[in-house]
Chains A and B, each alone.
Chain A
């Protein structure tokens, strides 16, 4: 009965590889997000989708590409991984994407690039 789930929980890979992280929410929310948390625990939004439409696209290298096949899923694909991509990536969802919404976070995916 997990509200927001992510797979995998840990991802260790070599520089230059391509990898994907998957996210699913069963809350019936319209809006989903990807955040990056760096080694200093600073959290920054990367992308947001509302009903499968991209609405937030922060300054992120174009090696990162989100995909939302339906409003319950938001995946993150990363091409040509670099050392600096090592971080914890959090998926989140909210009801309508409004400023007042509570965001519900997944458990995170710890990506380590060697």
Chain B
């Protein structure tokens, strides 16, 4: 079965600390991987995506993610977070069709 799992539903973090959000997927076919961010009361916007090539992908606002095929993971990281990074983060995958399947989301709360 094809699925995408975000392992942490909530991640509290202090300002200027690093953060890692975990995403795993299950698939027998090739996948394309995305991270989207949803700021409070807004729509989603793309942080980064992995299509092919280098497994380390850099995105907007200092975020990066690493695709690990053997572990079927696509974890998102930021070395130093700001208060403005408080948001909901969604891992999403397209399997062998063009439908975007979302994980359940991770709420990141950055505290001063």
Contacts and interface: CB of A to CB of B under 8 A. Distances in A.
A56 B99 CA distance: 8
A66 interface: no
Nearest to A110: B41
Q: In the complex, which range does the number of interface residues on chain B fall in?
A: 20 to 34
B54 interface: no
B30 to A, nearest CB: 9
Interface residues of A, number: 24
A18 B100 CA distance: 28
Interface in A93-108: 97-108
Contacts of B61: none
A111 B55 CA distance: 40
Contacts of B32: 99-100
Interface of A: 4, 40-45, 48, 55-56, 90, 92, 97-108
